[in-house]
Structure 1
Amino acid sequence: MPAWLAPILQSYGADLLRSAVLVLVLLLVHASIVRTIAANPQVPVDTRRRWAINVRNAMIIIGLAGFVIIWARELQTIALSMVAFAAALVVATKELLMCLGGGLVRSITNSYELGDIIEIGGMRGRVQDITMLGTTLIEIGPRHDSHQLTGKAVTFPNSLLLTQSVVRENFTGDFVMHIVNVPLPYSVRPARAERLLQEIAADVCAPWLDDARRHMAMLEHKLLMDTPSVEPRIALQPTSEKEYRLIVRIALPPRERQRAEQAILRRFLFACFPEDSQHPQADTD
């Protein structure tokens, strides 16, 4: 045994042994729980991933608490003799502490969870992973009005939660409100265009309209909040002397946004501008 190792083992051997046992036990418990969660096919994948992340974070917190308890005497001695160093350390680890504070704020306010679609600081995507220091998003874009996954992962520090507002797009859960903007020239008569868009939106949303109505009624009763009507609504907005805008609001499951939007736009635009006509069909009213 090296000469320098003997005094370390003599002074801190018991604490080192307790620390090693703690790490081993936590690793075994974590592996066992994660294996049990993964082996349950009846639970949705997102739910199992959320459980696994919560277990991992809980093991880390327990491990840190255990180390503090095991090394309390040594930490106390160091703290009493290094007050100035501790103050400097706080300044040096300001960003780290802000990340931990942001994670605490997220947990207390429940601003978002795994699988939510959020936007913060110009970043927008589906929450893929949450740790005590940062959050990973699977980017949705490339523009704000797009709802397709780009395949890119974006990680931001939780310190942003202390200075930036978080937009949670699927706050209402299984059904969300979605806006589709359709700019049109005045050659397409607004009255007919509005009726046509209303019919198409109602037809596309018909498969889930009853479920959406029941879901919003449940939220209104459970959360005591005013919920919007799930019926497709059309708003007319002049934008210039050459064109106007139809704005349709629909209720739908979050994963159906891209498909439903494209279905509505394709059917509406193909009806207004048929390939075999030189003029918009809506102008023949």
Structure 2
Amino acid sequence: MKLQDYFSDDQWLPRVALTLVLLIVFVAARRMATRLVRGKADVLDAMGRRQVFYVRSAFNLALAFALLMIWLGHVQNLVLSLTAVIVAVVLATKELLMCVSGFALRTGASLFSIGDWIEVNGLRGEVSDYNLLSTTLLVLAPPERGHGYTGEVVVIPNSLFLSHPVRSGRLKHHYVQHAFSVTVEAGIDVKAALAWWARAASAACADFAEEAGRVSVAVDRALSADVQGPAPVIHVGSTDAGLLSFSVQLFCPAARSLALQGALNADFLAVVAQGEFALAGADQSTATRAGD
């Protein structure tokens, strides 16, 4: 039997068998090539991530082209015979198709899973359930209110994933990068204040420092990027009114973020009021305005 006879219109079995073989070969080859590019590195830089993307894209394109060559005749016949039906179905079920497409995007891109925190179209919450048409979120309070649950449940259509960007929080054990600031009058010893913040923030995070370190390493490995943490980050700047603003970022459990912020702010304002950071010969007048 000639080769073209295997690919005649009534020869489905060889096409299916060849398709399965191609899928297995391409998937295995893509994984091997990706591992070769990554090497033994857990965290990739921008160039490494770009190379992995190019390798995967090349294999995906080659696989799509090979499958198209195998099934081109059948696809053409099917499209021509069902064009009118497809157009009618698409018009009648547009929203449903968009929801299913959104589910496919979530699955194919691994956007999130149960327990992840996501934000889409201004809605922020923890994913508690999802299906072919919708996703259920437990609504979370904004960061300045501590990341806790509000008690509300919202169900969003999966079609939103096609029209709006999705922010997915992949930090393990519900750790967050909690940022806040405290503003005081100028005229204090900034270096001494920064040293105080470094000591106080590290001491406040000491009881969960070991777990935070493990979580930080796991996040870096999962994202192939160096995410800031687990050490506290302190910056100082000035406001338009000429006040000093100390900005703090803590890598901490979400449930403890507000308590840590309140305790650190109170301690800092207390030592400022006591004149601990007063410059020699300066008439110290401190303002105590804390904010997120």
| Overall identity of the aligned pairs, in % | 28
Matched AA of 2:99: C
What is the CA distance between 1:213 and its match in structure 2?
2.0
Partner of 2:122: 122
What is the CA distance between 1:188 and its match in structure 2?
5.0
Higher mean C-alpha deviation, range 238-247 or range 221-230: 221-230
Matched AA of 2:133: L
Q: Tell me which of the two structures has the higher relative contact order, counting C-alpha pairs closer than 8 angstroms and 6 or more residues apart.
A: 2
* Residues 220-259 of structure 1 aligned to structure 2 (within 5 Å): 220=220, 224-259=224-259
Partner of 1:180: 180
TM-score w.r.t. structure 2 length? Answer: 0.58
For 2:215 and 2:171, the matched residues in 1 are separated by: 9
1:221-277 alpha-carbon deviations (Å, 9 max, x no partner): 565432434211211122223323212122223433333333333333344347xxx
Gaps of at least 5 residues in structure 2 are 1-80, 281-292
Q: Which secondary structure does the structure 1 equivalent of 2:154 belong to?
A: strand
For 1:153 and 1:220, the matched residues in 2 are separated by: 31
Query: Does the 8 Å contact 2:96/2:133 carry over to 1?
Result: yes
Alignment partner of 1:145 is 2:144: yes
Matched AA of 1:245: S
For 2:196 and 2:123, the matched residues in 1 are separated by: 35
For 1:262 and 1:131, the matched residues in 2 are separated by: 40
Q: Which secondary structure does the structure 2 equivalent of 1:145 belong to?
A: helix
For 1:221 and 1:91, the matched residues in 2 are separated by: 44
How many equivalent pairs are there? 199
Alignment partner of 1:272 is 2:272: yes
Partner of 1:205: 205
Alignment partner of 1:110 is 2:114: no
Matched AA of 1:249: Q
Judged with a 3 Å threshold, the aligned counterparts in structure 2 of structure 1 residues 92 and 244 are, in CA distance, closer, same or farther, namely farther
Higher mean C-alpha deviation, range 214-223 or range 97-106: 214-223
Query: Does the 8 Å contact 1:209/1:251 carry over to 2?
Result: no
Query: Does the 8 Å contact 2:102/2:158 carry over to 1?
Result: yes
* Residues 40-51 of structure 1 aligned to structure 2 (within 5 Å): none
* Residues 44-59 of structure 1 aligned to structure 2 (within 5 Å): none
For 1:91 and 1:101, the matched residues in 2 are separated by: 15
* Residues 32-71 of structure 1 aligned to structure 2 (within 5 Å): none
What is the CA distance between 1:85 and its match in structure 2?
6.1
Q: Which secondary structure does the structure 1 equivalent of 2:118 belong to?
A: strand
1:122-174 alpha-carbon deviations (Å, 9 max, x no partner): 11122222122112222222x453223222222211111112111123x2323
What is the CA distance between 1:207 and its match in structure 2?
0.9
What is the CA distance between 1:215 and its match in structure 2?
3.3
For 1:263 and 1:110, the matched residues in 2 are separated by: 38
Judged with a 3 Å threshold, the aligned counterparts in structure 2 of structure 1 residues 220 and 124 are, in CA distance, closer, same or farther, namely closer
Q: CA RMSD in A?
A: 3.0
What is the CA distance between 1:121 and its match in structure 2?
0.9
